[in-house]
Structure 1
Amino acid sequence: MKKIIFTLLLATSLIASGQEKVDKEEKGKFTLSGTVDVYGTANFVDGSGTPGILIANPGNANGFGLGFANTVFAYTKGKTGVVADIAFGPRADDANMAGAINQLYAYYEVSDKVTITAGQFNTFLGYEVINPSANFNYTVSYLFNAGPFSHTGVKLDYTSSEDLSFMLALTNAHGISSADGNFGGDMQIGGQIGYKGQFLNVIYGSDGSADDALYLDYTGGFDLSDTFFLGINAAYANSSDTDSGYTGAALYLQNTFSDTFALGLRPEYFKVSAGTADADVFALTLTANASLTDNLKLITDLRYDSSEDGLIEAFAAEKSVSALTLAAVYSF
């Protein structure tokens, strides 16, 4: 009788153990993260405004202001996953293409090397991103403001090796939001080649205003020493239909003095062309980046913008503008 009872208990234990293993295999992984930032800013000319603060009306940036608040919901299970990045605030207003949605996409890992993603995802062009917690500087470059910010469509990523990667994308014109609707079937094709942290990006097609818009972008960087990093972003855009485009380049020189403090300098040159007319602007940003805790950092930008052609953001009538901005960025 004892043997029968022991056998039943053992069988029950094995069944329970097996069921627990199945339950664990069936469960996915859910993560929640996000950021919040606020800033204080002042310029050294008459009037309000700070160039490079990404808000719908940059001339309104004065005193204290709200930047960006987002929450990222991510769920993965097996070879599939979804990401919902919901963002609010003045900084998000310019970037979101569909209401409060910054990103919303699903992906499927076909293999260890191939991933297919469909939905709305942030652009693969450029050095800087929408979320300020991922940038060294708080104010953004003219190259970043030139866009695009996000794309809606499908992309395929192929990782050939640890050093080499490829990406191919088919998306709506990046100038089309959910409020517009792609009634004309305006599409873009995009691609990326990545090698050892250097990325060459290309987009061609309609951008909402031209059918033959070409965007070329190089983004990369090099560790010149154990503490000094040089980042590079260079871009070119042109359309024969509209006879317009832009060129620009920015350097990101950053030196890390400790685990909690770094200084950076971002010189940038940006030129827009329309027909035979050109206009350019130069911007220089000195940034102190200090981590108070693992979650909270302070970013201080002292910025100088100069243009003889009225290109300074929020100050078209000024030849030069200097501004000081202190931002607190909290990540969780």
Structure 2
Amino acid sequence: MKVITSSKLVKFIILLTVTLTTSTLIAQEEEEGTPNFTISGSVDAYFRTNFNGLNKSEEIVGGDEVSFTPAAPASSFANDPGFAIGMANVILGYEDDKVGFLADLVFGPRGEDVVFLSQPSTNIVNQLYAYYKVNDNLKFTLGNWNTFLGYEVISPVANFNYSTSYMFSYGPFSHTGLKADFSFDNNWTGMLAVMNPTDYTEFNPIGKYSFGAQLGYANASGSAYLNLIYGEQSLSDDALFQIDLTTGWDLTETFYLGFNGTYQDTDGVGFYGAAIYPQIALSESFDLGLRAEYFKELEDGGPVYGADVRSLDFTLTGSYIIGGLILKPELRLDSISEDVFLDQDLQSTDNLSSFVLAAIYAF
């Protein structure tokens, strides 16, 4: 279990006070026609249970003491048993014709998992950057921003599924560096970046840099992005290479289809995978969506269950919107090519079925 210290609580209370005070000033300034300040964010909580796995800690004493933790997929977020919390997210932004900034602050278990390589003094900072628009076709950004790779994102508001995929969980979360965004025309965009090693959000501890690139196309029906990252992530001389395709299209007024394919390699250790995301609108307030993911770790090693292990994730999620509140009931089945889970009888098994009910409030 993660320990929330009293100093973090004090920081969050101060942050909340400043945010509420700032919102009053912003409302007054916007009435006077000053540049655009914004405050947005979310809070989320959930309930999770396994149908065929452990839902509580088990301990067996017999010679050596052995303890077993509740079963959960080895993907990020929404893995705690019973009633649990996600995070509080407050995003402060400013934008005028040329310059702007964004400060994205998180508090809670989900937020701590996102900034896992941050120092304790600053580990409520999810994103923090400033930017300068040279013209309509070129913008420079300096600071820390969430990754441009992958279909899924950190915020539970922007994801259709509440639990996350393996591809998202073991790709980058965040980057710190300098990037240039290009707009070639009404449809085509590009991005080039030089960055610290992945997820080192405050500074560069090893003196090595990564390079990122993106080519995007978007129109009224959807978008497609080809993403690349290359660079040494540790003191070893082995460089990480990842190529990633993310796309999604409205095929009809009520049916959407998304796709993510990725390949990551660091001297033979890594993974590749693909997922489809079909979603259908059943009413004005209720949508139903599926994530079907194939994830394969490379023969020399992988970051999740081990070398040459195959994982399948089928996640069926409902999304019911009531004003700013989003309710997400979710059924998930993980099937692995090795016996990596324990069932309720403490027997090894290669699959896990679970249920999550999440509540997300966005403002």
Normalised to the residue count of structure 1, the TM-score between the two structures is 0.85
Preserved contact between residue 305 and residue 312 of structure 1 (Cα < 8 Å): no
1:283 corresponds to which of 291, 299, 313? 313
Using the alignment, how far apart are the partners of 2:49 and 2:269 within structure 1?
Answer: 33
What is the Cα deviation at residue 275 of structure 1?
Answer: 1.9
| Aligned structure 1 segments of 4 or more residues deviating by more than 6 angstroms | 312-316
What is the Cα deviation at residue 88 of structure 1?
Answer: 1.1
Which position in structure 2 is the counterpart of 1:37? 44
Once the two structures are superposed, residues 158-196 of structure 1 have per-residue CA deviations (whole angstroms, 9 ceiling, x without a partner) of 011111000001000104343xx5243121000000013
Which position in structure 2 is the counterpart of 1:303? 332
Identity %: 41
The one-letter code of the counterpart of 1:40 is: F
Using the alignment, how far apart are the partners of 2:177 and 2:347 within structure 1?
Answer: 36
Secondary structure, in 3 states, of the residue corresponding to 1:93? Answer: helix
The one-letter code of the counterpart of 2:76 is: L
Assess, with a 3 A threshold, how the Cα gap between structure 1 residues 272 and 53 changes in structure 2: closer, same or farther: closer
Where in structure 2 are there 5+ consecutive unaligned residues? 1-31, 55-69, 302-306
1:329 paired to 2:329: no
Which position in structure 2 is the counterpart of 1:200? 226
The one-letter code of the counterpart of 2:180 is: L
Which position in structure 1 is the counterpart of 2:24? none
Which position in structure 1 is the counterpart of 2:73? 51
The one-letter code of the counterpart of 1:300 is: P
1:109 corresponds to which of 110, 121, 133? 133
1:225 paired to 2:252: yes
Which position in structure 2 is the counterpart of 1:93? 112
Which position in structure 2 is the counterpart of 1:253? 278
Which position in structure 2 is the counterpart of 1:236? 263
1:78 paired to 2:97: yes
2:186 corresponds to which of 158, 162, 176? 162
Report which of the two structures shows the higher radius of gyration computed on alpha carbons.
1
Normalised to the residue count of structure 2, the TM-score between the two structures is 0.78
Assess, with a 3 A threshold, how the Cα gap between structure 1 residues 313 and 39 changes in structure 2: closer, same or farther: farther
Count of residues paired in the alignment: 301
Question: Which deviates further from its counterpart, 204-213 or 113-122?
Answer: 204-213
The one-letter code of the counterpart of 2:294 is: Y
CA RMSD of aligned residues (A): 2.4
1:66 paired to 2:85: yes
Using the alignment, how far apart are the partners of 1:208 and 1:175 within structure 2?
Answer: 12
Using the alignment, how far apart are the partners of 1:52 and 1:34 within structure 2?
Answer: 27
The one-letter code of the counterpart of 2:105 is: I
Secondary structure, in 3 states, of the residue corresponding to 1:263? Answer: strand
Preserved contact between residue 190 and residue 216 of structure 2 (Cα < 8 Å): yes
Using the alignment, how far apart are the partners of 2:210 and 2:158 within structure 1?
Answer: 27
Where in structure 1 are there 5+ consecutive unaligned residues? 1-23
Once the two structures are superposed, residues 279-330 of structure 1 have per-residue CA deviations (whole angstroms, 9 ceiling, x without a partner) of 110010111111022x101011100000122567999953100000000000
Using the alignment, how far apart are the partners of 2:259 and 2:150 within structure 1?
Answer: 9
1:189 paired to 2:211: yes
